[in-house]
Amino acid sequence: MQTVTLNTGAEMPILGFGVFQIPADDTERAVTDALAAGYRLLDTAAAYGNEEAVGRAIKNSGIPREDLFVTTKLWIQDSPAQDNATRAFDASLGKLGLDYLDLYLMHQPFGDVYGQWRAMEELHRQGRAKAIGVANFYPDRLVDLVSNNEIAPAVNQIETHPFFQRTADQDVMREHGVQIQSWGGFAEGKNNLFTNPVLSDIGRAHGKSVAQVVLRWLVQRDVVAIPKSVRAERMAENIDVFDFQLTDDQMASIATLDTGSSLFFDHRDPAVAGQLGKRRLTD
């Protein structure tokens, strides 16, 4: 598996398995199948409600802990955010049944971001979170966080797919030593992604599916991806993207698909900020 080197020096697999929107009852089987297919990066979140199922799959896999790269995420915390963030971390770690996390991400750029980040910095210093990062931060918020704290995020997980490519955002991240990670790499099939003529033609040229073309495109851009599936055959297909290379012309063709806009929600939208900023987990 190809890896990227984080600003901590840790090696992170460039392709992993995400469990967003997989029901808790299906998650253990899905993660078990993903591990069997060769995935070693697992991505979950407190807000997904399936950390315990991920933890059971890890425990029953027999795979040495040091061979796995496990990520979960901190939801928005009420004041005092620093204390509450530490308690939330402990709760997630307990549900996962782990002694440490490879990566702990702040899930949303809302609430007392700096109180939450200070707690995460301390968890990193203690070695309980080997790396810390953020999700859904636009460049201005990211640079502000980097400029006003001791530890820079190792990762920023953001919506990234052929219709919202985030190349300028990635340039800013590179400048500050932050690794870009994609969520929604397949755009959840929006804009008829899986039948898109550009992607389909490139797939036919390589004998690959549109999904494989998209993942290969992300890999060649040094974007970490976490495709989700509940089908073992699709998991195997998604990880089989290291035996072909997109040409410069093919990469340029995919670049023309960029709309420059989110297909889901814009974290800079006041309505989105208000909605997400008020949401709290029940436990």
**SS3 of residue 78 by DSSP:** coil
**pLDDT digit string, tens, across residues 156-179:** 999 999 999 999 999 999 999 999
Q: Is residue 82 part of a domain?
A: yes
| Residue 1 counted as domain residue | no
Spell out the residues 6+ positions from residue 117 whose beta carbon is closer than 8 angstroms to its own.
Answer: 106, 132, 145, 149
Cβ within 8 Å of residue 243, ≥6 positions away: none
Whether the pLDDT of residue 136 is over 90: the answer is yes
Strand partners, 179: 155
Domain for residue 34, yes or no?
A: yes
pLDDT value of position 170:
98
pLDDT band at 261 (very low <50, low <70, confident <90, very high): very high
Tell me the C-alpha distance between 126 and 112, whole Å.
22
Asked if the structure places residue 4 within a domain, the reply is: no
- Interhelix angle 248-255/197-206, rounded to 10 degrees, is 160
CATH number at residue 180: 3.20.20.100
Q: Which domain holds residue 127?
A: 11-277
Report yes or no on whether pTM surpasses 0.85: yes
With a cut of 60, say whether residue 283 has pLDDT above it: no
In a domain, 112, yes or no: yes
Q: What gap in Å lies between CA 175 and CA 75, rounded to an integer? A: 27
Determine, yes or no, domain membership for 43: yes
Q: Which of 48, 100, 104, 138 is catalytic?
A: 48
Residue 100 annotated as catalytic? no
Domain membership flag for residue 67: yes
Q: Tell me if 53 is assigned to some domain.
A: yes
Q: How many domains does the chain have?
A: 1
Q: Is the pLDDT of residue 236 over 80?
A: yes
